[in-house]
Amino acid sequence: MRQPFQVEVDEGCQRGLHLRFHFADRVPDELCETVLARFDDAFAGWEALGARTVRRVIVPFRFELRWGHADAELSLILRFSATPEERVLDQRSVEQLVTQLCTCELAA
C-alpha cells in the first residue's frame, strides 16, 4: 500500500533530527492515545499557538511528536540521546503507527 503521508527532512538548525510528515487530509485523530499506549514513558501536553492548538507527545530521550502547528503536518523531532540505530527504529515505529492509524480511518 502507498504511504498515506510524505516525509521531509528539515534542513534547518535541527538538521537531520526534525522530520515533517505531510498528510493528504489530516493527522490521524487517535495519534496521541496510540503513542501514549505504545511507549511506556510517554507523556502528552498541548499549548496555544495563536489560534491553533499544538499537541505534543514526548517519549523522553527518544523523540517528540508535535502537530496542530500547521494543517495536516506532523513533526517528529528525534533526540540526541538516542543512538543512530534508535533514531532509525523510532522513525520506523512512528511511520508504521501513523500508517496503521490512517488505514483504520480509511476503513472506518
Partner 1 sequence: MTRALAPAAPRDHGRFLYGGEPLVFHCNFYNYWLQKTLLLDPELQMEEVIQAAASEAAGQMFRRAAAALPGGGTTSDRLALAVDSFAELGFGTVDLSGVSAEGGTVTLPVSHYGQCFRQVVDSDFATPQSLFDAGFVSAAAAFVHGVPRHTFQATIEACASMGAPSGRIRLDATGAALTFDGYAHEAHSAGDPGAPFADTSVDEAAILGALGTLDFSGNEEGLIPRFGVMLTRHFASFYNRVSFEFLRRMDKTGLLDAAEMLLVDTGYRCAFHTFGGIMTSAEWDAVIRPQCKTRADWVHGMVATVNALGWGVWRVSELSEDRVVVRIYDDYESCGQLDMYGRSERPVSHLAAAAVAGTMNLIYAADIHEKPTLDLDFYARAFEQDGLFEPEQTRSMAMGHEYTEIVASR
Q: Which residues bind partner 1 (CB under 8 A)?
A: 10-18, 47-52, 58, 60-61, 64, 69-70, 73, 75, 77, 79-81
CB of 71: closest distance to partner 1 in angstroms? 10
Q: Is 86 helix (H, G, I), strand (E, B) or coil?
A: helix
CB of 99 within 8 A of CB of 4?
Answer: yes
Q: Which is nearer to partner 1, 52 or 92 (CB)?
A: 52
CB of 20: closest distance to partner 1 in angstroms? 9
Q: Which is nearer to partner 1, 33 or 41 (CB)?
A: 41
For residue 5, which of 77, 57, 63, 74 has the smallest C-alpha distance? Answer: 74
Strands 43-49 and 63-67: unpaired
Q: Which is nearer to partner 1, 14 or 96 (CB)?
A: 14
- 10 Å CB burial of residue 84 (0-12, 13-18, 19+) is exposed
CB of 64: closest distance to partner 1 in angstroms? 7
CB of 51: closest distance to partner 1 in angstroms? 7
What's the CA gap between 12 and 15, in Å, rounded? 5
Q: Which is nearer to partner 1, 12 or 85 (CB)?
A: 12
